[in-house]
Each structure stands twice: as structure tokens, then as C-alpha cells.
Amino acid sequence: METYIFRKCQNNKTKYLILKMKKEVLIYDIETATYGSDVNEVEKHKLKYFGAYSYITNQYYFLTDKKEIQQLINQHKIIVGFNNEYYDNPILEQEKILIKYKRSIDLMKTIQQRAGIIPFGEYFLSYYLKSYSLDAITQTLKLSKGEKKLEIDYELFDNDNPTEEEFELMKKYTIRDIELTKKLYEWVNDRFDSWKHHLEIKDQNNLTHLSCAVSVYAYKVLAKRCGFKEEYTNTKERYNQGVGGYVAYPAIEKVENDIYCLDFSSLYPHIMIQCNLYGRNKKENKGWHGNDILKIDGYYNTNEMNKVSNVLMDIYEERKILKKNSDDRQYGLKITLNVCYGLLRNPSFKNTYDKVAGNDCCIIGERWTKYVRKKFKEAGYFVFYSDTDSIYFQDPFKDKDKFLKLKEQLINNIKKDIPFPKDTFDMDIDYVIDMIKFFKGGKKKDDEKLDEEDIKNKEFGLMKKNYIFVYDDNGTKRLMIKNLGIVKRTCSDISRKTFWKEMVPHIIKTHECTFDNGQIKEWINKYLEKDLMFIAKRIAVKNKSSYKSKGCMQVQAHDYIPKDKKFILGKGIHYFIPNNKIGIGKGRKKYCTIEEFNKYCSLNDINTSGIMRELRYFNKDYKEEKFSNKKEKILEWKDILTQKELW
């Protein structure tokens, strides 16, 4: 049953159109004959099979006749695929199958654009994805119910005269991909369905909210509410960050007890609203031009708030109401508020871009943050870090009411000398922290504009934006981590398990953040004893002739003859265990097959240097390994896999 709740009542015709569009979707996937050509040589590939699922007929299709393919496509307004923008669509156009006037959605592109903003598990979806292949995404989201893509010899698709058994295998393989793509489409549709309510009906009908970049989405929302044209600039001018947000150097490595993080409420949107940044006077130097605690470049209208500033205020207040009512429509407004600063800085967005106002926004944010930091320090608080819109401090008085009163006084002081102060502008307690730890490492820039305190703190060698802290979440102790490598998508499964399952409980309980090398190895071995695949390296090998570098890992794997075997591994999917004893690879680190490892190696032979490096910040004994050998050449995952394997 379809249920819609609209900010303004929509008539029955509108509802009918939206429901109809849900039916006019075709999920599709193609299989091609490549005849040994490279994955990027799309012009040499030939369409062999067309798989699809129609929401009109609720049926699956497996077609070979071009006329039937065209007829099926013609029945639908929206076509949805995976990696279809890069591969499927160009192939169909080569085959003279008309899709020019169809609305095309590429789910791979959608996930790539939005995985970093989708909360998932302990972090964001992008952290848990091993790759952006269809198989990896659907498994991570648990849409495939543990079932993996069917294994198939891709040379079968080059065969123009397959046997009946081979034909059925290719059909089964294609339909399986369609099933996975359909499940992913329905997940994406459900996850972002609430976003559509803030767009024009045309965009809702075209499912634009499922496919456009988040910046484009926010621009569309503002265009609709402000009444300006949705115009874009085809400019070669690069998106210049200019003045950036202020981040201080940490003043201490570790702090415990009575720690608070005070955070400005939607700092940049409130700057744009209260300082009327969209109302810059571009013709003459008249208007608000800063005050005693900050100097800016632009002059801003003080007589009337610009339409965009008013709309941003409306969006902020509306989102608060929706959030209070647990209404999912809040998420579209939240992303609009988060992205509106980027629209101010990006020349592609014709009616929101203003380079001067963009720089001023950052300058104002920096001055306000430094002002609050300074006043808190003068009042006796130990302010040891600040990051863009927040300050971290220790309360020596153990009196929350006292620092909240100081905070209120400072916010009122800021509001006194800005054009359009708002009651919603405030600072809130973002976290109540038991322990926070910063880490050394990284290269420090020499060209930064540092104040006296930053110059002093920089000498401690502690990294910005790389830290962990233990905080209270309604009575439950949790750990927050900012960067430090362990939250990267490329981090291995075994490093993640070691960190989250073994280290984190200890850190929360004891506040000790580093561990002996022996203890870490013991944890790693515990997982390896259960399953060697935690550390196995997957190498997909194509035809040897398709690799330009004859020394890359793929070619080495292709030519490798495992111990006690007579033949090379050749092309296909191969799994290797990193070790210090036998196998392919250059330098100390070798890679052998699982069978070789089980027969000739032990856990002590496993090369864990990669894991240890991923966990280096939490290893009190860690020393970076340095070798004279050249680094092995590893191709990116998207270059390793054939196009079909990407799906």
C-alpha cells in the first residue's frame, strides 16, 4: 500500500502520476561478447543478451532479438541498471537500440555518490563496502541473502553457437544479476523516497531524487522554493575552496574526565541567514561589513533579507518540526542545509555561486569559533581543540550550568552586531566525553596562517581531525573515531574485526588506546585460525595480453605454477595468502595459494605487515617497515575485474 504525506496537499492527479511512474520502470542488464578485447574497448563489444524486469508486467525477460528489446524498452519511461551509464547504454546505442529519450538511472553511480552520507553499522555505508561492484553492495546491504553472484566462464558469451546447457547457464546468470539489481533499486528507492517531496513534480516523476548528485538535489530544492531558474554554468573555472574552515592543532595528547564538545547549531547555514550572505551588495560598498571581532571582504544588505536566506531559515525550522515528529522528509531538508555552503562556493550553480560570500562565510565561522575559544580560556576552562564549528574543553569547575551561562552570554554578544540575528542560532552540547586521545603522525603544512596558540601546539606533532573519544550515549558508553585510517573503505576485514571487536571494548573500559605488538598479533591469529579468508587477497586475472605491465600482480598470478603442480593458474579468480615464505610477489612479501599455505606454511609465516600498518596508531611497538625493493604494482579493483565481474 502506497502512503504519501505532503507538506501541501497534492491533488489526485498528482498522486496518480507518481504512482504511475513507479510502474513505468524497467530494470535491465546486458551481456556482451568481447572476443578478447579490453574491458575499456566498448566499441569492440557486441550485444548478445538483454535481461530485464518490468514493473508494468511484473515479469522477467531474457531477449536476443533487437526488435523485441526495443519494443520492451519503448513500453517504459525509466530504465534502471548498474554501471549502465558507462557500459550498457553505449552498447545499446551501438546496436541502434533507441534509449535517447528514456530517463536512465545508474545505481552504481548513485551508491558511489551517496555511500558516504548513508549511516550504516557503526559508521557510513562507504566504510563497509569492499568495492562498488553489484555483488559487494548487495551483500553488504544483505539484499542477496548470503547468495553470491553465479560463477561463469565469460568466454561463453563469445560463443555464437552455445549448447542448450550453456544457453541456460547464461540465462540463469543474467536473470540473477537482474534480481540483484531489482533488489538494490528497491532499497535505494525506499531509502531516498522521502527526498522527492521537496522537488518539482517533473523531477519526482523522473525519480531525479534517486540519481542526481546531492549538490544538484539541494540546488533543485532551493530553486523550487526561491522561485529562481535552475541554471548551471558551463565554466572551466575550477571549484576553488578558497578560505577553508578553521581547525586548530590539538594542545594535548590525551584528556580524561569532565570533557565537553560544544557545537554551533548548523553554523554555516546560520551565517548565511543571519549575515545575509546571499544579499551581497555587488554594485557599491554599502551594508554590513563585519565588526570588531571580524573583518570580511563583502558588503551585505541590512534592510531586507535575501530570498535565499529566508528560504534557508524556513527549511531549518521546517526540518526541526519534521525531525521532532520522526518524519523521514527531514532528511532531504537536512542534506540541503548541509550542502548549501557548497552551492555558494561552486561556480557550476549559477544562481547561488558567490566567491566573495563563500570566503566570508568561512572567515566569519573561524572568527566566531576563535572568539568562543578565547573567552572560555579566559574564564578558566581548558580548551584543547577546535574543529570548524565546535570546541572541545575540560571543565575544572564541574559545573555545567556555569559554562552554559557563559556560552549563552557569548552567543548573545555575537548576535548583537549582525544584520538578522535568529533565536535558533546557538551552541549545544554535542558530546559528553570521558576520554579523548589524539595521535602523532602525518606531514604538517608550512603555508598555514597560524595564530600564536597554533604555532605553539603544532610543535607537539599531533594530527588534526585524527582522534578517538569515549562518550556517553544515554547511559551507554560508545567510541567515536575520526579518520585514523581504520575507517577507510580499503581497510581489511581482519583489521576492522581486531579494532571493533577486540580493541574498542578495552579502550572504552580502561581508556588505554595502545596495545603491545604481541597482544595485537594474538588477536589477529585468533581470527586467522577461524578463517584464512579474512586475510586472503583476491586477484581477478584476464587474458595475459590485456595487461600493459608484464610485472603486475595479475600477470604474475597468471603465470604462477603452485608448488607440486604442473600447470600455470591462468585466467580466473584466484585467492592468495600473504606470507614471508613462498609464492608470487617482489621483496619479502609473497603470495601463495590457500592450498600451498595449508601444506607448507603456518600462521607464523603469514605476512601481517599490511594489517599492522592499518592498526599502527593503536600499536605502542609499531615501527614502519622500510625496504629497498620497488613497490609491487597493483592495479585498481576496477581495472582488475572484467566489466562483467563488476556486475
The pLDDT value recorded for residue 632 is 43
Start-end of H helices in 12-81: 12-23, 66-74
Does 417 share its domain with 523? no
The pLDDT value recorded for residue 633 is 43
Does 457 share its domain with 534? no
| Structural domain span for residue 569 | 517-646
Is the pLDDT assigned to residue 642 strictly greater than 50? no
* Greater model confidence, 388 or 273: 273
In a domain, 188, yes or no: yes
Does 522 share its domain with 620? yes
- Burial status of residue 605 (CB atoms within 10 A of its CB: 0-12, 13-18, 19 or more): middle
The pLDDT value recorded for residue 30 is 95
Average pLDDT, integer, range 305-332? 96
The pLDDT value recorded for residue 491 is 83
What is the DSSP secondary-structure string of 558-607?
Answer: HH---TT--S---SEEEEEEEESSSSB-SSS-EEEEHHHHHHH--GGGB-
Q: Identify the CATH number of the domain in which residue 333 sits.
A: 3.90.1600.10
The identity of residue 326, as a single letter, is S
The pLDDT value recorded for residue 22 is 59
In 10 A of CB 97, how many CB atoms? 17
pLDDT level of residue 148 (50, 70, 90 thresholds): low
In a domain, 597, yes or no: yes
Percentage of the chain modeled with pLDDT above 90: 71
The pLDDT value recorded for residue 634 is 41
What is the DSSP secondary-structure string of 355-418?
Answer: HHHHHHHHHHHHHHHHHHHHHHHHTT-EEEEEETTEEEEE-TT--HHHHHHHHHHHHHHHHTTS
In a domain, 499, yes or no: no
Average pLDDT, integer, range 381-404? 96
First-last CA distance in the chain: 31
* Among the ranges given (59-73, 160-174, 622-636), the one the predictor scored with the smallest mean pLDDT: 622-636
Is the pLDDT assigned to residue 191 strictly greater than 90? yes
The pTM is what?
A: 0.84
Q: Of 212, 246, 263, which residue constitutes the final position of a domain?
A: 212
Does 158 share its domain with 293? no
Does 521 share its domain with 471? no
Does 343 share its domain with 476? yes
Does 421 share its domain with 476? yes
The pLDDT value recorded for residue 149 is 64
The pLDDT value recorded for residue 340 is 94
In a domain, 285, yes or no: yes
Q: Of 153, 186, 212, which residue constitutes the final position of a domain?
A: 212
Average pLDDT, integer, range 432-459? 81
Is the pLDDT assigned to residue 628 strictly greater than 80? no
Is the pLDDT assigned to residue 15 strictly greater than 50? no
Pick from 233-242, 419-428, 618-627 the range whose average pLDDT is largest: 419-428
pLDDT in tens, 90-129: 999 999 999 999 999 999 999 999 998 999 887 889 888 8
pLDDT level of residue 147 (50, 70, 90 thresholds): low
Helix, coil or strand: residue 634: coil
* Greater model confidence, 447 or 44: 44
Is the pLDDT assigned to residue 435 strictly greater than 90? yes
- Residue pair 385/392 in contact (Cβ under 8 Å)? The answer is yes
Taking the C-alpha atoms of residue 551 and residue 586, their distance in angstroms, rounded to an integer, is 10
In a domain, 17, yes or no: yes
* Greater model confidence, 491 or 219: 219
In a domain, 3, yes or no: no
* Among the ranges given (9-18, 173-182, 197-206), the one the predictor scored with the smallest mean pLDDT: 9-18
Does 193 share its domain with 264? no
Average pLDDT over the chain, rounded to whole?
88
Q: Of 443, 461, 484, which residue constitutes the final position of a domain?
A: 484
Q: Which of 483, 568, 436 is nearest to 127 (CA)?
A: 483
Is the pLDDT assigned to residue 10 strictly greater than 80? no
Total domains, the chain: 3
- Cα separations (Å) of 565 from 168, 467, 538, 560, 593? 33, 49, 20, 10, 11
In a domain, 49, yes or no: yes
pLDDT level of residue 580 (50, 70, 90 thresholds): very high
Indicate the helix (H) or strand (E) that contains 53. Answer: strand 46-54
Question: Rounded to the nearest 5 degrees, what angle is found at the Cα of 183, between the Cα atoms of 30 and 90?
Answer: 25
Does 477 share its domain with 521? no
In a domain, 276, yes or no: yes
* Among the ranges given (46-50, 54-58, 196-200, 438-442), the one the predictor scored with the smallest mean pLDDT: 438-442
Does 102 share its domain with 177? yes
Does 99 share its domain with 53? yes
pLDDT in tens, 521-531: 999 999 999 99
Is the pLDDT assigned to residue 289 strictly greater than 70? yes
Does 131 share its domain with 42? yes
Q: Identify the CATH number of the domain in which residue 175 sits.
A: 3.30.420.10
* Greater model confidence, 124 or 330: 330
